[in-house]
Amino acid sequence: MAKVPVQFTLNGSEKAEFVESGTTLLNTLRDKIGDTSPKGGCQQGTCGACSVIVDGELRLSCLTLAETCNGVAITTTSGLAEGGVLHPLQRAFLDTFATQCGFCTPGMIMAAKVLLDHTPNPSREDVVEALSGNICRCTGYEPIIQAVLTAARANSQNAA
């Protein structure tokens, strides 16, 4: 099958790859580019572990074809830390023990980041709604909800 060129920015740096038509963005990020922070859980859009941010919106990378991503800006969890300093969401997930096996964590952080980008001071209901497409086996969700609320508070204190 003919390969298709695809170009986008990933966490601020330009990427260009030839992919087989039909390749998912998830497999392109993980296998071609080597960014393994998006996880392949169900591969059918029901678990949220593969979530990434495409042009500011949350996207399931396992259901997104790479060839539809020409010219977009993609953010993944591996691009959040700046100069070795963790993003406030990553810091909050650590501080509130919101991760156990860690497989759902990158997707949770992506979903939470899109929420906080649009709604800097979310209610608990906002957080629950934002995380409702992501599933977790270990934590019982409460520590994750608390992590997102903690990160939001840290952001608003820094802004003040």
Partner 1 sequence: MAIRRGRGVAAINYPTGMNLGGDPTQALVHSTPTGNFMVTLSSVDLGQGMKQIMAQICAETIGVPTDHVVVDTADTDTGPHCMGTFASRGTHRAGNAVIQAAKEARQVMLEVAAEELEVNASDLETDGQGNILVKGAPQKSISIFDVALSAHFKRGRSISGRGMFLIPRSYPEKETGAMKPSTCYAHACTVAEVEVDDETGEVTVLTVKNVFEIGRALNPKMVEQQLVGGSWMGISHALYETTEPYYPNRDHGGTDFNQYLMPGPGDLAETEIIVLERPSADGPYGAKGPGEMCANPQIPAVANAVFDAVGVRIDTLPITPERILRALKAQAAN
Bridge partner list, 75: 53
Considering only 8-16, 83-91, 115-123, 141-149, which stretch makes contact with partner 1 by CB under 8 A? 141-149
Q: Which CB, 31 or 142, lies closer to partner 1?
A: 142
Place of tokens 């939001």: 152
Q: List the 73-75 sheet strands across, edge first.
A: 13-20, 3-10, 73-75, 51-54, 57-60
Q: Which CB, 8 or 141, lies closer to partner 1?
A: 141
89 part of the interface to partner 1, by CB under 8 A: no
Instruction: Write the CB contacts of 102 (distance below 8 Å, at least 6 apart in sequence).
Output: none
Residue 13 phi, psi dihedral angles, 5° rounding? -110, 145
Among 50, 80, 145, 152, binds partner 1 (CB under 8 A): 145
141 part of the interface to partner 1, by CB under 8 A: yes
Report whether 58 contacts 66 (CB < 8 A): no
For every residue of 108-119, DSSP letters joined together read HHHHHHHHHHH-
> What is the smallest separation between the CB atom of 42 and partner 1, expressed in angstroms?
6
Q: Which CB, 6 or 41, lies closer to partner 1?
A: 41
Residues 99-138 close enough to bind partner 1 by CB under 8 A:
100-103, 127-129, 131-132, 135, 137-138
Contacting positions for partner 1 (CB under 8 A):
42, 44, 46-47, 97, 100-103, 127-129, 131-132, 135, 137-145
